[in-house]
Amino acid sequence: MNDRGADSAPTETVTVVRNADVVAARQLVRTMAQQAGLSLVHQTKLVTAASELGRNMLLYGHGGVIRVRVTAQDSRTGVWVEFRDEGPGIENVELALTDGWTSGGGMGLGLSGARRLVDEFDLETGPRGTTVSVVKWNR
């Protein structure tokens, strides 16, 4: 999945360094989802995924940047969200995407749960950081 940079819609950015920033990003995602015409159910799924991914970015990546934009492809409209940090990366992606696995004290549903809640999910990770991009399409 690319960053959908060809879209004409502006990209909004939230720098995440504390919990309040995750809340602000979640509110921005909801606003963009409403603008894209997502149903309330799909808005809720996307906001939940954004909340999980934002918290993971803060906890494991020591903060980062969330970019959000309304996107279009063919006759579909949706919301693209990117979570980028400069943390240590995810050592074992397959394990991290397994339901119930956690490297912390959580329930182990962050990455795997977020992936189920969106229509497109892309994860790139290495020793210089992790980038997760998601898209939720209007149905």
* Closest-CA residue to 130 (of 75, 81, 79, 85): 85
Of the ranges 4-8, 51-55, 73-77, 101-105, which one carries the lowest mean pLDDT score? 4-8
Give the per-residue pLDDT at 93: 86
The model carries a pTM of 0.89
Euclidean distance between CA atoms 38 and 42, whole angstroms: 6
pLDDT band at 108 (very low <50, low <70, confident <90, very high): very low
Average pLDDT, the chain: 89
pLDDT of 5 above 50: no
Residue-by-residue DSSP string for 20-76: HHHHHHHHHHHHHHHHTT--HHHHHHHHHHHHHHHHHHHHHH--EEEEEEEEEETTE
Q: Directed axis angle between helix 40-61 and helix 110-117, to 10°?
A: 150
Q: Is 118 helix (H, G, I), strand (E, B) or coil?
A: coil
Phi, psi of 73 (to 5 degrees): -150, 125
Over the stretch 8-38, which tens digit does the pLDDT of each residue have?
Answer: 679 999 999 999 999 999 999 999 999 999 9
pLDDT of 100 above 90: no
